[in-house]
Amino acid sequence: MSLRTGWRKIVNVVMLSLTGVCALFTVSALFFILGYLVYYGGKSLNWAFFVNLPAPVGEAGGGMANAIVGSGKLLLLASLLGVPIGFLGGVYLAEFGGRTFCFIVRYITDLLNGAPSIVMGIFAYTIIVIPMRHFSAFAGGMALGVMMIPIAVRTTEESLRAVPLVLREGALALGASKWKTVATVVVPAAIRGIVTGIMLTLARVAGETAPLLFTAFSNRFWSQGWNQPIASLPVMIYTYGLSAYDDWHRQAWAAGLVLLALVLAANIGARFVVSRGISFRRV
C-alpha cells in the first residue's frame, strides 16, 4: 500500500466520521433543547401555572391561565380564516383549476409562505389595529390566519392529488357530478392528509411570537370577547424570559415546556397518521 493510498484512506475515515459528527451534533441539539426545558420547565410546572392569572411583580404563585386560553382563542380565530381559504384553495388547485392560473396561485402561495412572520404582524396592524385604534385578538388572529393559508393550501392540494384517478372515474361513471365526486369520494379519501396538514400549520402558528407583538399585544388579565388585547403563551415566554425576575424566568421555562410539548406532539402525531400510508382504508 503506497503512501498516497494510505493517506487517502485516512482522509476517507476522517471525513466520513466528521459527517457523522455533524449529524450527531444536530440531533443532540434537539435533545438538548428538550432536556433543558423538561428539567427547568418541569420543575416549575404546577397547578398554579395552569390556573392562575399572572401575579404582580415580586409576588409568587402567578400563572399563565389567561395566556393558555388566549393562545387557544387566537388559534381559533386563525383557523376561521386560514382553514376555509386553505382547504377550498387547495381543492381548486387540485380539482378545478386551469394550468396558468394554478401556476400563479401556487407561486404566490409559496411567496406568502416565505414572508417573515413579523411582516404579517405589520399587515394585520395596518388593516385592523390602525382603524380600530387598539390591539385585539382579531388582529392577532388575522395575522396568524394569513400565515396558515399557504401550508393548508399545499397540504390539501397534495393530499387530493394523491387520490388515484380511477377512484374519481368510478364515481363519475356512476353519474356523480364533479363536485359530488370531490365531496363524497375524493375528499374523504384524502381527509387524513388534509387534517394532518391543518394540524401542522396550527402547530406552527401556535409558536409564533413576532406577529402578535403589536396586534394581539398582551394582557395580564382575562380578555373578554375578541376585541381586546389578549395574552398568548409565546409572548409571555418572551416577556418573562427577558425580564430580570427569577420567578418569571421559571414560569418562562414552564410555558416553554408546555408550548414545545404541544408543538412536538402535533408534529409527531401528524407523522404517525401519515406514515400509516396514504392508505385508502375504510373511510
Partner 1 sequence: MVMKTSEESRPTERAAGIATPWPADIKMRAAGLDFYYGGKQALHTINLQVPTGRITALIGPSGCGKTTFLRILNRMYETVPHARPKGEVLLDGEDIFSLDVVGLRRRVGMVFQKPNPFPKSIFDNIAYGLRINGIRGKGTLADAVEKSLRRAALWEEVKDQLHKSAYAISGGQQQRLCIARALAVEPEVLLLDEPCSALDPIATAKIEELLFNLKDICTMVIVTHNMQQAARAADYTGFFLMGRLIEFNKTAVIFKTPARKETEDYITGRFG
Partner 2 sequence: MVDRARLSGRARQFMQKLRHGDEVAHLITLLAAASIIVVTVMLVYQLFINCALPRHKFGFEFFLGRTWDPVSGDFGALPFIYGTLVSSALALLLAVPLGVGAAIFLSELAPPRISNYLTFVIELLAAVPSVIYGVLGIFVLVPVLRTVVMPFLKHTLGFLPFFKGPIYGVSMLAGGVVLAIMIVPFIISVSREVLLAVPVEQREAALAVGATKWESTWQVVVPFARVGIMASVFLALARALGETMAVTMVIGNDPKINASLFAPAYSIAAVIANEFTEATGDLYLQALIELGLVLFLVTIVINGLARLVIIATTQKGATQG
Q: In the window 139-198, what residues touch partner 1 (CB under 8 A)?
A: 164-177, 180, 184-185, 188-189
CA distance 197 to 281: 19
Decide which of partner 2, partner 1, none touches 283; Cβ closer than 5 to 8 Å per partner kind.
partner 1
Q: Quote the CA–CA distance of 142 and 134 in Å, as a whole number.
A: 14
CB closer to partner 1 out of 172 and 262: 172
Q: Is 127 in the site for partner 2 (CB under 8 A)?
A: yes
- What is the rounded CA–CA span in Å between residue 97 and residue 90? 10
Give the largest Cα separation in the chain, rounded.
80
Q: How far is CA 261 from CA 37, 72, 96, 146, 180, in A?
A: 10, 15, 39, 24, 39
Among 55, 199, 209, 274, binds partner 2 (CB under 8 A): 209
**196-226 per-residue burial string, b: 16 or more CB within 10 A, e: under 16:** bbbbbbbbbbbebbbbbbbbbbbbeeebeeb
Interaction partner, residue 254 (partner 2, partner 1, none; CB < 5-8 Å by kind): none
Single-letter residue type at 8: R
93 contact choice in partner 1, partner 2, none (CB below 5 to 8 Å, kind-dependent):
partner 2
Under the binding rule (CB under 8 A), the answer on residue 74 touching partner 2 is no
Q: Please, are residues 202 and 75 in contact by the beta-carbon 8 Å criterion?
A: yes
Any contact of residue 132 with partner 2 (CB under 8 A)? no
Point out which span in 13-21, 61-69, 186-194, 219-227 binds partner 2 (CB under 8 A).
13-21
Of residues 80, 104, 132, 273, which one binds partner 2 by CB under 8 A?
A: 104
Report in angstroms the alpha-carbon separations of 33 from 27, 220, 238, 243.
10, 28, 16, 21
Q: Taking CB under 8 A as the rule, does residue 273 contact partner 2?
A: no
Q: How far is the CB of 102 from partner 1 (least distance, A)?
A: 13
Segment interacting with partner 2 (CB under 8 A) among 42-50, 59-67, 96-104, 164-172: 96-104
In the list partner 2, partner 1, none, the entry touching 167 (Cβ below 5 to 8 angstroms by class) is partner 1
The footprint of partner 1 on residues 17-56 (CB under 8 A) is none
Distance of closest approach, residue 152 Cβ to partner 2, in angstroms: 10
Q: State the DSSP code for 94.
A: I
Helices 65-91 and 137-161 meet at what angle, rounded to 10? 40
For the bound state, the minimum distance from the C-beta of residue 193 to partner 2, rounded and expressed in Å, comes to 17
Q: Are 142 and 224 in contact (CB under 8 A)?
A: no
Q: Does 174 bind partner 2 (CB under 8 A)?
A: no
Among 52, 227, 228, 267, binds partner 2 (CB under 8 A): 267
Q: Is 23 in the site for partner 2 (CB under 8 A)?
A: yes
Q: How far is CA 271 from CA 87, 192, 227, 241, in A?
A: 20, 11, 36, 31
Count, residues near partner 2 per rule CB under 8 A: 90
Q: For binding to partner 1 (CB under 8 A), which residues are involved?
A: 164-177, 180, 184-185, 188-189, 280-283
